[in-house]
Amino acid sequence: MILISACLVGQNVRYDGGNKLNNELKSLVDQGLAKPICPEILGGLTIPRNPAEIVGGDGFDVLKNKAKIIDIQGNNVTDEYINGAIKALDICKKMKCKTLILKSDSPTCSSQSIYSGKFNGSKKQGIGIFAALLIKNGIQVYDEKNYKI
């Protein structure tokens, strides 16, 4: 089974209540070959919610307690993001999922780059908290630009 970021298959789970529909990925769900997942919702975050960025590093650093996830109003939402990533990993393991296609640039899902933590639209190399947890558990992560099925 393949897991795909829910926002990529048209579910309105993004912080702004929108989605980032990718029709090719949605067709995998429609054919029963993949299922959607949204770690931030699993972590108890609401729709809509404040946008958040990783400050002081990337997802690996958050897992090492060396960086935090802060929303645009300055609230520390690290625990919610970690909880969601742990719950999503658990689902992934129970489903024996070997392939994940996750949204780029997200503080949770991204596997290439993330926003800088300065809330000015700039990005930096690094990965999100869920992607980091998956990689630590030996699970391959793709995004919507580089996936292979």
Q: Residues in the site for ligand SF4, rule: CB under 6 A?
A: 5-7, 13-14, 38-40, 103, 106, 108-109
- 40 or 67: CB nearest ligand SF4: 40
Rank residues 55 and 141 by Cβ distance to ligand SF4 and give the closer one: 141
Q: Closer to ligand SF4 by CB, 16 or 30: give it.
A: 16
Report, in Å, the least distance between residue 110 CB and ligand SF4. 8
- Six-digit token string for 111: 């596997």
CA 119/CA 23 separation, integer angstroms: 29
CB 85 → ligand SF4: shortest distance, Å?
9
Instruction: Specify the length of the chain in residues.
Output: 149
* Smallest gap from residue 49 Cβ to ligand SF4 (A): 9
Cα separation of the two ends of the chain = 11
- Helix ranges (H only) for 14-74 are 23-30, 39-42, 59-63
Residue closer to ligand SF4, measured from CB, 60 or 108: 108
Which residue in this structure is represented by tokens 């869920």? 130
AA letter at 82 = I
